[in-house]
Amino acid sequence: MDEPIVVGIDIGTTKVCTLVARVEGEQNLRILGVGIEPSQGIRKGAVVDLGAASTAIARSIEKAQRTSGLEITSALVSLAGSHVASVNSRGVVGISGGIIDQEDIARALESAQAIAIPHNRQIIHVIQRGFVVDGQDGIRNPLGMHGYRLEVEAHIITAAESTVENIRQCVEAAGVQVSHFVLNPLASGEVVLTETERQMGVVVCDIGGGTTDLAIYIDGDVWHTMVLALGGNHITSDIAHGLRLPLPQAEEVKKQYGHAIESEVSEDEILTLRTFGQEHPVQVSRRELAHIIEARVEEIFLFVLEEIKRSGYDGLLPAGMVLTGGTSLLPGIRTLASSVLGLPVRVAKPENLVGLTDQLQSPAYSTSVGLLHWALLLSEAAPTPRKHTPFRGGGINTETLKNFLRRLLP
């Protein structure tokens, strides 16, 4: 059992998924334990019922422990919700020895964090976007270079402290310590993006039940992140209101018969449904269902387009969008997204998985699997991380450090 064990807990609006994996060889993960439980007490990424959320998380963890035969003591936990915000910042330090070492890079990143943050918010990620040494920009890794002045451009992601602490409390109630929080689209990006897409310019769009999570990657780094409080549950709610159905039945109808483009559905297709106030089942056109879905999906992508334009990077995304999350399984959604955004779009899911992977090969589990990849990066770069302290990088393999710098966590 020398090989390290990594654990990720994806706490979503619709499900809680706990994964346990063993690291084998060079960056290979074998899934040992899976615990999937319907989510309770979570709405739009935030805890609304502490007891219900704690119970759902505890059940998910218990299932993963049972299937893996291992006790879970700490884990990486996903984070989403409209309370998440991001800002780009710049830090500058002088180089005393003339050669840049890891301590100088850490000081530059700390300098970038010296921004005015409201007392009720906390920093979740500090991700470097690039370095400038003595006025020369475009430097990816300055370690070992000669210079006297080091600047870093950093992308800083913050979240509401109360929301983060509520999630931490729910996880710790199950006897598990939170080693780090990871923003949903950054976790998803680890498993759905190719290196070429990261370099060219791409936006990851993870549409879950309660939120739509965005991350823009350019030149291999994260340049912008955003969480919208819209998701698949809004589509379900529209179906429930439009066709007068209970929410559980509306969700089933969406999964079985839903389509994101009305014009692609035949007028002859009829569904038989039992609606409110009707003694006998009534017949509903599938095209009417698609009409309801298309309106909401189009609205979601119009908000996404607005956010991409607001970031200022809309002209820097030749690789287009990679769509993932449970709602991306909706037929026709890729075509509609491409039409609204004017970008190439592909739907992606976790691939090359080993072990207990039957349920996980779906876009709905991109964040869950991505958390394990983050845990892998952290375990490689900091074998003995200090709890709640920024990553310093003491005694780290240089090659590992180069790979890890772009995904720096506080």
pLDDT, the chain, mean: 89
Residue of 196 and 3 predicted with greater confidence: 196
Compute the half-sphere exposure of residue 289: CA atoms within 13 Å on the CB side of its CA: 28
pLDDT at residue 10 greater than cutoff 80: yes
Show me where the domains of the chain are located: 1-84+158-193+351-410, 85-157, 194-347
Percent of the residues in the chain that have a pLDDT greater than 90, as a whole number: 77
pLDDT at residue 405 greater than cutoff 60: no
Q: What is the mean pLDDT of residues 336-351?
A: 95
pTM for the full predicted model: 0.87
Going by their DSSP bridges, the two strands 149-160 and 121-133 should be labelled as antiparallel
3-state secondary structure of 91: strand
* Fold annotation for 1-84+158-193+351-410: Nucleotidyltransferase; domain 5 (3.30.420)
Radius of gyration of the chain (CA): 22
Tell me whether the CATH fold assigned to 1-84+158-193+351-410 matches the one assigned to 194-347.
yes
Consecutive H or E run containing 339:
helix 333-341
Q: What is the CATH number of domain 85-157?
A: 3.30.1490.110
Residue of 397 and 368 predicted with greater confidence: 368
Predicted pLDDT of residue 2: 66
> Is residue 189 very low, low, confident or very high in pLDDT (cuts 50, 70, 90)?
very high
Which CATH architecture does the domain made up of 194-347 adopt?
2-Layer Sandwich (3.30)
What is 30-67 written as a DSSP string?
A: EEEEEEEEE--SEETTEES-HHHHHHHHHHHHHHHHHH
